[in-house]
Amino acid sequence: MKFYELSRQERLNQLQQQGVLSTASSAYLLKKPALDEQVLNAMVENNLGEFNLPLGVADNFVINGQKYVVPMVTEEPSVIAAASNGAKRVALGGGFATTVTERLLKAQIIVTQVTNFADFAARIKDVTAKIRQVANDAHPSIVQRGGGFDHLTVSQVGDNFAEVGLWLNPVAAFGANLANTIAEAVAAYLQANILIGQEAVLAAILSNVGSKMLVTTECTVPVTVLATKKIAGITVAQRLVALNQFAHLNADRGTTENKGILNGIFAVALATGNDLRALSSAITTYLMTEQQNVLSTWQLNLEQQTLTGRLTLPLTIGSVGGAINSLPSAQISLEILQQPTIEQLMGIMASTGLANNLAALRALVTSGIQAGHMRLQSANLAIQAGAVGSEIATLQQQLNRSNHSDLAMARAMLQQLRDKKVNKNNDN
């Protein structure tokens, strides 16, 4: 049987057999225990309980030569299926190749009333060594782990603002608290010792810009694996490239294509306890700065009969710290991913986005997005209609056999299903 055809227990058993899931983690996922009250109170204000979302895995991933099943948290049925579908086709071409050139987090110290910027910049430059010391003394544990202050920049902003940018190595953490702690310490030092006249620190805080947290993932897919029963692979590839080119020219389409990419990226981010708001902010700024409409680029090589995909984006994430350490499910997700380094996790997340992108574009230029989407969405439709227990699967199958399905039809089918059951019981 295929992985998606197994029961939940059978999937957990298979992951245990593959050595990516421990017996304890499998039992936790099977029992789904609630978080401790103390954990809930510590994580949010005015705690009321938990808001649950499904956790699943996408299979078929080969990234930098290593096989993965990728944990994903999402409420949309087609997202995991699309990721698995795209990854399977990419694996036939050798898999994804990823690179992370640098990983630095920025903190900003914003200074007002700077009337002579050249003099201000010179004063900051003269005390760079002291700033490094203040920064590292503010968070010595990050220095012990090989991170901390990397370098600084000084920028003039408008007529009387200046920015001192502190670039920090957060190692495996996202580093928000790290950046804020260091920024405030350096700001206090500057205010007390370096600023003159009316110059004053306005704020000291991290930036979510992500410009030095870029990851690139690439793949090469033989066009033959894109074929459908009715459409040749080369035709599918040509259409796919054309649609991607249109997205680069048209912001409306680019926005939707980006959403498909983020379906995968955000699902992995949620599964690993990462901050979607930080990711959204960094990716938005990246697109504006690069003046591009869509994150991915697809190109066709007619001579080699291959389709090449490339995706570059900032991923402001961590593999330790904060909610990542507090949430048992996030720890299990990292276990399933074989405890990746932060660079590996960035590559996994980006590759999942590109896999979703490939699957979505292929569907759009062949059968259309709605057919496959609605087949998977029919379970939600059954639940909305009021189906419970075994009724959900039965009604889902009936809806999938229908050429058209909506809530009214689902309710009518459910009533027929229940009437049939009542009549059968009466006959007995």
Q: Where are the domains of the chain?
A: 34-96+214-366, 105-207, 373-427
- Non-local CB neighbours of 69 within 8 Å, separated by 6+ positions: 15, 18, 20, 57, 58, 59, 61, 336
Tell me the average pLDDT across 237-259.
Answer: 98
Q: Are strands 161-169 and 148-157 parallel, antiparallel or unpaired?
A: antiparallel
> Which tokens is 169 given?
């190595």
Res. 5: pLDDT tops 90: no
Tell me the average pLDDT across 92-109.
Answer: 97
Question: Which CATH architecture describes the domain 373-427?
Answer: Orthogonal Bundle (1.10)
The answer to whether residue 373 is catalytic is yes
Per-residue confidence (pLDDT) for residue 70, from 0 to 100: 98
Mean model confidence pLDDT for the chain: 93
Per-residue confidence (pLDDT) for residue 428, from 0 to 100: 62
Cβ contact 70:358 at 8 Å: no
Per-residue confidence (pLDDT) for residue 397, from 0 to 100: 75
Q: Which of 59, 139, 199, 373 is catalytic?
A: 373
Per-residue confidence (pLDDT) for residue 404, from 0 to 100: 66
The answer to whether residue 259 is catalytic is yes
Q: Which of 76, 163, 184, 343 is catalytic?
A: 76
DSSP letter, residue 92: T
Tell me the average pLDDT across 144-156.
Answer: 97
The answer to whether residue 275 is catalytic is yes
Question: Which comes out higher in pLDDT, residue 274 or 38?
Answer: 274
Lowest-pLDDT range of 70-74, 313-317, 424-428:
424-428
**Rounded Cα distance, 161 and 201, in Å:** 10
Cβ contact 108:207 at 8 Å: yes
Per-residue confidence (pLDDT) for residue 195, from 0 to 100: 98
Q: CA 274 → CA 40, 168, 293, 319, 333, distances in Å?
A: 17, 19, 25, 8, 12
- Non-local CB neighbours of 157 within 8 Å, separated by 6+ positions: 110, 163
Cβ contact 399:373 at 8 Å: no
Tokens 């299979």 correspond to: 59
Whole-angstrom Cα Rg for the chain: 26
**Rounded Cα distance, 31 and 16, in Å:** 16
Per-residue confidence (pLDDT) for residue 116, from 0 to 100: 97
Q: Which of 125, 259, 420, 421 is catalytic?
A: 259
Per-residue confidence (pLDDT) for residue 369, from 0 to 100: 64
pLDDT tens-place string over residues 53-68: 999 999 999 999 999 9
Per-residue confidence (pLDDT) for residue 372, from 0 to 100: 56
Q: Is the CATH code 3.90.770.10 the one for domain 34-96+214-366?
A: yes
Phi, psi of 352 (to 5 degrees): -65, -40
Q: Which of 59, 199, 257, 275 is catalytic?
A: 275
Cβ contact 323:43 at 8 Å: yes
The fold for domain 105-207 equals: Alpha-Beta Plaits (3.30.70)
- Cα-Cα end-to-end distance for the chain: 36
pLDDT tens-place string over residues 286-337: 999 999 999 999 999 999 999 999 999 999 999 998 889 999 999 999 999 9
Per-residue confidence (pLDDT) for residue 191, from 0 to 100: 98
pLDDT tens-place string over residues 154-182: 999 999 999 999 999 999 999 999 999 99
Q: How many helices (H) and strands (E) does the chain have?
A: 17, 10
Res. 413: pLDDT tops 90: no
